[in-house]
Structures are given as structure tokens and as C-alpha cells.
Amino acid sequence: MGSQDSYEPGADLPRGVDVEAVEALARVAKLPQTPAQAAANVERLNSFLEFVDGWEGLGLAFSFEDGEFGYAPSIAQFRPEWDRATGLNKGRVVDSQPDVDGV
Amino acid sequence: MASERPHWLDLAGAARALRGGELSSRELIADTLAWIEETDPGIRAWTEVTADSALAAAEQADRDFAAGIDRGPLQGLGFGVKDVIAVADVPMRAGSRVTGDFTPREDAVVVANLRRAGGICLGKTVTHEFAFGSSSPPARNPWDGRSVPGGSSGGSAAAVAAGQAVAALGTDNCCSVRNPAALNGVCGIRPTFGRVSTTGVVPASLGLDTVGPICRTVADVATLLTAMSSFDPADPRSSRAAVPDFAALAEGAESGLDGMRVGVPENFFFDHLEADVARSMDEALETLRGLGASLHPVTLPHAEHALPAFFVLDVAEEAALQYDHLRHKPGGLGEDVQGWAEVGSMILAVDYIRANQMRALILRDWEAAFEEVDLIVTPATAATAKAPVDHPIFIEVDYPDGYREDIVFAYGRFLIPVSMAGLPGLVVPCGADRDGLPIGMQLVAPAFDEATALRVGAAFEATRPPYAPPPPLAAAA
């Protein structure tokens, strides 16, 4: 695990948890946990962290380059009700039930 | 023969028989209940069978028919309900010990809609605990009586495949209508997110849950979906999009698929398949081409990130919903749900938000693809129902290319990218493996365009033999 003394800007720091870290997280989450559960959770949580480390470079976070800034939106911004979703009804449906507000 | 008994009629056939006076609703429901009693000790698809109320409703339906009263397309027909969907005055345990003897006072909106269309509730079907898993113990796959029926709507799919119900409701937040439909050789649709009300449904994931029908034919799925769908002001996820007559739109299968542009993903969706699944998909694509559809390669660049993002979202949301159970009912949850929820309690907020950003990128990919094609075809699952019911978790699948994965991923890998985008996905049977276990194909349509998936599914289905009962049940007759 990285420490303040060893930190270097831009370094590819290792990400992961051990039993001690999982026990600390469980205290933060007020989660009762036996030693066996903590050990199992180390394995599960590390597999999740490995997953999300695969998202580097996909443009989720801010970028400010060449006069433009970018980020990925959240799915929540596509709601309500998928109004902006491609193919909304596509004009190919027939109304067999009353439409609530004319959408 | 077993297949000549009324409970094996499909919904359309049973409706014709009822309306033509060849069969009474009481005869149909009584025969169905008798078949459940006869076969369910081996399949274990039901948690509650509401025989008395079902028979009373059937007698009322017969009186209505005699009086010329038409209550809707489901009049006199029975349906099963997954045990995370409320049915008034019937215990709802959600597959868990922690729910105790909870009995809802009111129907879920989707159940009320089916009753309004004349449907008769037969009872509650087995779910994986809190709809959070893909084995659905203790239900068994009727095709061999040994394998899992998939999940989490495993009881609903097993019951429909076994002829115990002409239709059943499932829920699908990850893949829980579609993977059981595929593994049991029946049809099921995950509707567009928001198409069907989730009021009265125990949530598995606040941002992904849908309710979908499982039936033995595409036309029956279309009929159920029309009856189920409605705008629900009490459900913040409910859409105001107009509800079409899906059954009418799915018709015309005999005219083929001329002009239909079908996308075939070049990346991710055809990777690491069992040999029989790969063969069946090749044959299915050729069938679609033979029906007049044109096949076009499409790419969905973020699909590979869907499964990790789904797990981050799903376990965190499950942890939030199980917050009190984790703290105050130790040992109450099953081992797998408990473990996932514990990890969900430790997911960082930043990773949860990044997973929601990933959903937007996945949806953009699908939208871009649908600029070029009308529909996209994928396998439903990478493997058939391999996991034995007595040890259904942590089983690994080996593929011909040397790849190995947990069976949970094999059953969800191609379905989750659709769920993450909130799109509709229809599963139709497209073959069987060398052991006779079913193989399914997924048809993905743009948001709120379930009709296109149903039309293509109906055309494909028309090229195949009609549904035949699983051999163990045919032999038992």
C-alpha cells in the first residue's frame, strides 16, 4: 500500500484491501462482521476494485484539452422516462390504451 | 398424451377454446392445478398455489362468458407470479427467511392489470432470495430435473416450461426474466425500463428493475405485455409512453422480415460460447437471413464494462436495501446475498457514480448502433443449464477456446449490457445442446420498441417446431 512518504505524483499506486482495511471499512459502514466474513470480503472487494481499475482512460472523469472539456454523463441525466432515448415509439405503434398526457 | 391435456395449450389456443365454448375456464384451471400437484414435487416451482381462489375465479369467468361479458384477452386464463411481486392476501417471502410471514394487503399494479384483463392468479413462484441470484433454489429445470432453472425468476420459467402455467410474471434487473427463459426453453421479455409499473414489487436494484412476462410463445408474451403495461403515477420509474397492442404488432410473421436490418455484434457478444450455443446462433442468424432480414455488423465498445459496472451498482443498492437486515438480523440472509450485500456496504461512492457514468456510455453505444439497424441479435447465455441444483454456486464453465468463467457470468454476460441501457430484450428458444438442454437467442430493440423484437421473434419462432413438453414430463403422463 502507498504511504505519504512514498507518494509520487502520477505514480500508478496499487489499489486493494487487506483484512485490516476491510475491518476498518466495516466499522465505517457499521457492519457486523465475523473474521471469516472479513476474509471472504477481502477477496470479493479486491475483485471489484480490479474491475473498476479497468475503467481508466474511458473519459469518465474531467478532461481539459485543446480548448474543450469533457466528462461522461450519469445515466440519471437520460431520465426522466427515456424521452431522449433513440427510437421512442418510432411512430410505429398504435394506441390501444388511453395515453395519459399525450406523449 | 400429456401434450393433449388443456394445461399444455398456449395462451392464444386456450383463449380460442374458451371463447369457442370447447373448454370451460373451470376445466382448464382444474386441469392446470391437478398437473401442478402431480409434477411440482419434482420441479418445486411454486411457493403457494391458490387453488380455491383460482377455481372460484374460473367459475366467475365461465358465468361471464355465458352472460356475454368480455373482461379482456386473459379472461379465464391462469398465470403465476414470482414471489417478489405482491398478490393480495397471499404470503410473500421473497425467497428469504427475513421476511417472516409477510402477507401484502394489495396486489402489485402489474397483477391488478392482469386481473383487470380477466386473468386468474394461480399462486406464487419460486425466486432466488430477493431476486439476487441465478439458481432459484429449490426449483429445478424441467428439462432434466437436475439442473438449475436459472434465475432469479427460475420458478416462473420452470412452471411455464413444465406446463404448470400458460404464463408467469418474472422480474429482470440484471437478467432474471431472460436467463431463466433461455435455460428453460421458453420466451420472456425484459421490457424497456419504465414500461411496466413496479409498484408492489420488492426491488433488487432501484435503477434497473423491470417486470416481464414468461410464456411458451412470442405471441403470448406480446399479449401479456400489453395487458401488464401502464403508466403508474405512484411509481417514479414509470413511463408515460403510449402502450401499443403488442400482439397486433407482432403479427404478420408469415410475411417474413423483408427490409428488417438486423445488427450482429462484432465484439464481446459472440466471445467464449459453448460449442452448441455457437452452432445454434449460426443457424439462427441464417434463419433470419432466410426470412428476408439483412445482417449488419455492429460494434458496442463499452459492452465489456457492463458486467463490472452492474456489479458495483447492484451490490451497493442491495446493501442499501438490506441495511437493516445486515445490522439487526445476522444470519437471516442466505450466504450469497449476505456476502454481496456486505461488499456493497464497502463500495466507494466515487465508484458507484463512475458505474452510473458507464451506464450512459453503454446506452450511447446502443443508440449509435440503432442509427444503423432496427434490432440487434445476441446469444442469451454462453452456456446451457449446467449447474446442479444441489450445488449451484461457484461452478465454473470451460469453453472450447480455453476460456473459463463462473457460471453466474455465463448466464448474465450478454444480458447485462441490455439491462444497463434500460433497453428491451426478448429471449426466444433457438436450439438445444447435445443433452437436450435449451438454448436461447436475445433480440434487443431500441427503447420502447418492444414491438420490433416481438415481430422478429414471432417470425423466427414460426420457422421452428411448436413447443413440445420436456421429455421427463411427456414420459410421466
Task: Decide if A11 is inside a domain.
Answer: no
pLDDT bin (cut points 50, 70, 90) of residue A98 is very low
Find, in chain A, the residue whose alpha carbon is nearest to that of B346.
A25
> Is 90 exceeded by the pLDDT of residue B306?
yes
Q: Tens digits of per-residue pLDDT, B94-126? A: 999 999 889 999 999 999 999 999 999 999 999
Task: Report pTM.
Answer: 0.92
Burial class (CB in 10 A: 0-12, 13-18, 19+), B404: exposed
Q: Is the CB of residue B86 less than 8 Å from the CB of residue B44?
A: no
Q: Which of A23, A37, A75 is the best substitution to test chain B (most B C-beta atoms within 10 A)? A: A75
CB contact under 8 A, A52 and B194: no
Quick one: pLDDT at residue A99? 39
Task: Decide if A72 is inside a domain.
Answer: yes
pLDDT bin (cut points 50, 70, 90) of residue A78 is low
Task: Decide if A14 is inside a domain.
Answer: no
Domain that holds residue A34: 19-78
Q: Is the CB of residue B306 less than 8 Å from the CB of residue B420?
A: yes
CB contact under 8 A, B446 and A86: yes
So which residues of B are the catalytic ones?
82, 152, 176
Task: Decide if A32 is inside a domain.
Answer: yes
Quick one: pLDDT at residue B449? 93
Q: What percent of chain B has pLDDT over 70?
A: 97
| Number of structural domains found in chain A | 1
From the list B194, B229, B356, which residue is nearest A82 (CB)?
B194
Quick one: pLDDT at residue A52? 84
> Is 70 exceeded by the pLDDT of residue A83?
no
Residues in A closer than 8 angstroms to B452, CB to CB, are 92
The answer, for A46 touching chain B at a CB cutoff of 8 Å, is no
> Is 50 exceeded by the pLDDT of residue A27?
yes
Q: Which of A28, A56, A71, A81 is the best substitution to test chain B (most B C-beta atoms within 10 A)? A: A81
| Number of structural domains found in chain B | 1
From the list A52, A92, A97, which residue is nearest B243 (CB)?
A97
Lowest mean pLDDT among A51-60, B267-276, B366-375: A51-60
Task: Decide if A39 is inside a domain.
Answer: yes
The more confidently predicted of residues B233 and B391 is B233
Domain that holds residue B202: 2-476
Task: Decide if A3 is inside a domain.
Answer: no
Residues in A closer than 8 angstroms to B241, CB to CB, are 81-82, 88-89, 103
Quick one: pLDDT at residue B336? 86
> Is 50 exceeded by the pLDDT of residue A53?
yes
CB contact under 8 A, A92 and B451: yes
The more confidently predicted of residues A48 and B413 is B413
What one-character DSSP code corresponds to residue A85? Answer: S
The CATH number of residue B32's host domain is 3.90.1300.10
Q: Is the CB of residue B369 less than 8 Å from the CB of residue B299?
A: yes
> Is 80 exceeded by the pLDDT of residue B394?
no
Alpha-helical runs (H) found in A1-103: 19-28, 35-53
Q: Is the CB of residue B26 less than 8 Å from the CB of residue B59?
A: yes
The more confidently predicted of residues B353 and A78 is B353
